[in-house]
Each structure stands twice: as C-alpha cells, then as structure tokens.
Structure 1
Amino acid sequence: VMTSGNLSDEPIAFEDQEAGTRLRRIADFFLTHNRPIFIRCDDSVMRVFKGQPYPLRRARGYVPRPLELVFPEKRSLLAVGGHMKNTFALARAGQVIVSHHIGDLENLETLRAFEQGIRHFQSIFEIEPEMAVHDLHPDYLSTRYALKLPIPKLAVQHHHAHAASVMAEHGLTRKVIAVSLDGTGYGTDGCIWGGEFLLADYFGFERKAHLQYLPLPGGDKAVEENWRMALSWLHRIYGQDMWKLKIDFLRGLKRDQAELVLKAVDQGLNAPLTSSMGRLFDAVSAILGIRLFANYEGQPAIELEMSAEQSESGAYKFNYREEDAKIIIEAEPVLIGIVEDMLKQKSHGKIAARFHNAVCRMTVEVCSRLREETGLNDITLSGGVFQNWRILTGVQELLLKSGFRVFTHRLVPCNDGGISLGQAAIGLRRMKDVLGSSHARS
C-alpha cells in the first residue's frame, strides 16, 4: 500500500525528516525525491448533485482559485474558520481565497499547519488583513489565534456562517430562510446548537426554530460514545421505565455505567444542552444497534443512512410548539415511533428510512411555517447533515414541490470546511461598522 503519510487527526507529513520522525512506527518504507514538496495539500473529495459539483473537501485542483463576491468592499480581512475540518480564508477587493483543507484543530501539528498556511497565503497573495473574523466559540484554537492578532475582530455565530457561505456562493443579498443542520456549533445562549432554522442576511440573523434541547452526557465524549445520546433521549421520554423496554440496545448496556451517566445528567455535570441534529442521528443509530461507538466522525449517521431501505416511503412525525416566538421541534414522537416499530419487529432498514423521511418532511413543514410568517421564499441548505444524500435529495425535492427556491453548495463544502467563506462574506459586509472598534459579535 502506497499513500500520503499522516497519523489519524494529523496533517500530511510532507518533509522527509518530519515523515521519518512521525511515521516510522507505521511505515516500512519511504519513497522520497530530490525535489522537495513546497506545501502540503490534501486531495479534494467531490460528489455530483443534480449534475453539479458538490464538494465534501476542497483542496487540490481547486485551491487557491479565488471566489468572486458581489460586495464592493475593497479592504482585506482574514477569516480563520471553525474547529473541525478547518479552512481559513483571505479576502480582498471582492475576492475570497479559501484555503486548502487543514483538518481538525485538535493537536499541535494541525495548529502549526494552520499557522503556516496563513503565513504562506499572506505572502504569495501579498495580503495584510485589516480585520479578523472568527467563530463565536471562545476555546477554538482558531478563535484564540484570531484574538491574538493586533487588528479589529468580528465574532460570527457558527450557523450564521454556514448560511452566509451558501449565500455568498450564489450571490444572494436578500434575507433567506437558512436551514443549518450539523453536529456542533456554539450558540449565542451558550448552548450547543445544530438543528437550526434562521432568518439570515450578512448583517445578522434571527433564530426562528430549532430542535428541542437535550443534555449531552459527557460533553464531547458523547460524540465518540453515541450510545450516551440514545440513553439521554430514552431517559427523557420514558424515565426509569425505559429499562422495561425489551430492546437489544438497553439489554446490551452496563446498567451501573448507564445509571452513573444519567445521575450526572440529572445533576447537570458535564451535560451541556444541545439542539444538534447530528446527535439525534447518533442516538437513532445506537438505539437500532447499528453503531454505539464512533471510530471516526459521523460514523453512526453514515451507517444509519447506508442501512435505510430505499423504497420505504413511511415517516415518523415531529411535534411543534411555540416558545419565546420560536418553533421548538420536538423529537419525542419520532423516538417513540422508532421504539414501537422495534417492538413490532420491523426491520432496521425500514425504521432508518422512516427516520430519514421524518427529518425531510419536518424541514419542509418548518420552512413552510416560516414562509407564512415572513413571506420569504429562498432557502439555503448547509451543515454537515447535508452530506447525507438521502436528506439532501429528499429535502430539496420536497422544498421545490412546495414552491421554494432552494440554494445548495457548489463551491465549498456544506460541512465546516465552508465556514471560513461565510465568515469572510459577513466580515466584508460589516467591515465599515467594525473597523475602528476593538471587537464585535454577530
């Protein structure tokens, strides 16, 4: 096997000495050359959606091709992106240059690659940023990097950036209904968002609907051990009566360990509230026994999608309630339907398909309610959940049938690899307001 070399979660090793040090325990041989590699760059990963490119990772072959925006702002800025699947972007004179895929900023090697990439792009494009744009999350390494820069800063909420990235791609300048569905994004209320419906433009957003909040047991650990989210949902619905349910998922759990997790949730210990759609997919995958532990990001949801029967047209039903002028999307009926179908010995493929269909129909129902309220008819779809082909195609088709104009990604990924473009677009539109102040927030 011959491959580019990197350890899991680390950037590609592209210098001979570095490769010999970092990879000596996993590689038998190294193929070198007398011509050194100048800069690391991953392969791009693309799919085709409705006859057009649909990027999952934008790097070799596409970077550093600039993206043209319709904004008149001539000054320059740096957008540092998010935490997962990081890219950064430099913008000047109506162009945004989005970097190659950097990776997850979770270790020193990737942080160094991020910093080296910024220096390299600033050098070759001769751009000295006058403003930095970063995520709202205070502990992201990209945020910390931006906050150290001696220039004005603008903080942009994660899902607002997702929405703006689609808007920038399509040259949209009017307000849209932005559907941003993913795993994690720091919210303005300090909770973890991820099932969001926003009214958005480049100058701000209003959160109009979201998936109901649920404790995330163990915080980030619940992403790796997705059975925790399944336990959290079943405990919310059934309480201690859940142990009476005759489903394999509960039989397979270590009761003592599960009770400790639930005790921590009840006491609010390391159990932040989340509205994440990605974590709902994780929970369903675990309840069905498809995947209880994730070996890589998104594995439970990917395997859930793969298991879904293509021909199944049935769907579970979400409930809705109003709270503080927002639509709260309640998933309890969906989980109850899943459990009831499991007790009826329905196939996992049928149940998985009905869950996917429920998410698609819910998305259209919420958008239709927001259209009635606002008169807006343009929809943007972004966030890592839209890497799921059944969700992407199902949502778009139902929205089009309902008379909406639907905008999806074509130039940057729907996942967090597209965050930097959205940050840059918002920054360019708000630059006049920000310059001269020390810090701002979107």
Structure 2
Amino acid sequence: MSQEKQSKITGVRGMNDMLPAEAPLWAHLEQSIQGLVRAYGYQQIRTPIVEQTALFKRGIGEVTDIVEKEMYSFEDALNGEQLTLRPEGTAAAVRAVIEHNLLYEGPKRLWYTGPMFRHERPQRGRYRQFHQLGIEALGFAGPDIDAEIILMCQRLWDDLGLFGIKLELNSLGQANERAAHREALIEHFKKHEAELDEDAKRRLHTNPLRILDSKNPAMKPIVESAPQLLSYLGEESLKHFEGVQKLLKANNLPFTINPRLVRGLDYYNLTVFEWVTDQLGSQGTVAGGGRYDPLIAQMGGKPAPACGWAMGMERVIELMKEQNLTADLDAGCDVYVLHQAGDTLEPAMVVAERLRSAGIEVVLHCSPDGGAASFKSQMKKADGSGAAYAIIIGPDELAAGQAQLKDLRRDGQQMTVALDGLVDAVINQLVSISE
C-alpha cells in the first residue's frame, strides 16, 4: 500500500533562511563589526530573545507602531506570563544593565547583535525576523559620546567600502521643551484635522510628535508647515546639539540637519540621527539612534544618561549587493583532496587533518554513495570548491609514498611530492600566491 505524498512545509513569510551562497557576505559584515567594536572599546552583551511584554510597553512606549501593531506577544502556557519576542535591543540591554548593576562600577560601552521580530509587511530589507547590530553607551552625559557613536557608523561604512549613506541629524531637546512644542503641534494639526489620515488623527492628542514621522505623501505639506522643535530648545539643549555638530565637523563628517527627524520610539531626547540611502527603495534608513537619558530611570534604575544606535544587518547586506561589494569575498578553501577510496581513503584523510592542523582550509572529497568517484568528476568538484590547489592520492601515488599537488588557479602545473613533505610543500605554494 503506497503512502500519500506529504505536503511540503515552507518557512514563515518574512523569516528568511541564510543560505551558503550568502554566508561570506554575513561573515564579512560580522568580522567588520568585531573590528569596529574593538577599535572603540565596546564590550559585548547578550540578552534573551524573549522578554516580558511589559518591558517593551514601558521602554518603547504604548503609543508607538511597534507596541500597537508589530510585536509578537503571547501568553506562556505554563505560568501565564505575558511574553514578547524582542522587537528591538535597547530596552532589553537596559533591563540587563539595571538587573545586574552594571553601572555600579562606572559608565559602560556595550554592543550586541542578534535577531529581532516585528510583524510587518515583508519587503526588501524589511523582514519579520531581522538582525540588528546595537551600540549602547550608558553613563555618559556629554556630546562627545554622541559624536563617537555617530563616527563609529561612518567607520563601519568605510571598512565595508559602502558609499552614498548620508547622515541626518536633529535634537529632540528635553521633556519640558517637547511639551511646549507638543502644544504647538496639536494646535497646528487641529487646524488641518480634516486632512489628517487615520494614524495622525489617532496620535493627535497622544503622541503628535510621531505625526512628523508620517510616510504618507498626502501628509507632507501639513508636516512641513508644522512648528519646528528646534525653535523650542533651551540654552542647554542647544549647547549640547552644537557640541555634537562641532565634533562631527572636526572629524570632517558631513551631515544635514533634518528638523522633522523624530525616530519611532518614545525614549529619545536631545540628539537623534539616521543614516539614509536612496539605493534601497522605500527602506532608506540603514541605521539610526540617539540619546535616551530618561529610559534607565523610566525602567526602574538609578537615573543615568545613555545613547546608542541600531543598524539593520539585512539592509547593509542588500546595500553591499547593490554596490557590487561581493566580488572579493571568497568562500573557497585552500586545498581539495582527491582519492580513490579503498586503501587511499585513510592516507587522504590523514593528509587532510595534518593540513588543517597547520591552519590550512581543506575539503576532503566524499562520494555520495561511499564508492570511488573518477578523478575527472572529482576534479570538477575541486574546481567548483574555489580551492587554490588539489592534492591527488591514487593507488600509484600511495604505493610510492607520494601525492600529486596541482595548481588550480594559475598555471595548472602539477608536481610530485612525498607524503611526509606535503604540508611544507602546500604552505610554500600558498605563500607564493600571496606574495
């Protein structure tokens, strides 16, 4: 009796597989990040993927798109806890800092990477599971740390070879300044209430600042004519903002002041910024962040200043592809070892392990059926592997205690080498390639 064919199970929409062809891109980005955080003295922190829902409601803000529409929240069936897959990393990092008293010893420079989750409509560079690099500097009050974290972004773009990413800058001032601006915004938008879209009407009295972040083209004239927050900043806020600008100019980093830039989370104050590009369609923000001094106290910790930024790693990968920065990323090995199974398998595996012990990247041929494949078919595999050299161990070579070492990338020359001198011979050849 034949079994019915089982239906194919596919991945969740907007939660993507990273396939081997893209692995070199991700590895290159991750290695660049490792170099960046070392250069600035940042320490790694890791937090759980799942947190209490209350953390994000308090940290991000009740009247935000993330909390209102995008979070993956559920009730733990075992104990009834309300839990959420983290939609961003700052709230979780601050929770960990407070819980473990990390600021007791003084300010901290922290970084993290990992998956985040938002229930959004999937599109290029915007997915339901996405990965972020987060940079958080806690306990520093001056404009110097604002400038430092912004300069970190520029250094990463330079390290990756990316171009065309522009910096936009603004200041949200302090709570009392935003309150005065908020009243002016409400009055302005009330005059145009009939022209507001549903999102704007809903936010008019709860979070009018977020109306400035509207992506609705029909709202553009109303938003552009709204009062600017910069006009409401006091002396200290302006001094901080000018200090950031002065340090960026001293480091020859160009920027544009965008008075409509507010970011999408409630915890920001003073400096906010975004790095934007026109090369990714509607998903033009590559990284963004700013200062969030109220958040630590808001989440139950001892008041302390803080600032940071987050970068969408998928968007950077897309930008690397768009700018053809993938050609030099070689996923190939150094050596491919060919053999004829039987008595030749054991010495071939011993050779492969000795080469790996010497720091050489090796692929040992393994036949799908466990038998002996022809050297012709194995050589195709060797060429496809990206290896610089092939080592051939057949019955004749084994009897003579030798192997053939073939150059796959330059002249195709082949030499006979004693098995006990093979490691040194391969090292010498690889060194000659790099010179």
Tell me the TM-score range normalised by the shorter chain: under 0.3
Q: Which has the larger radius of gyration?
A: 2
Length-normalised TM-score, structure 1: 0.23
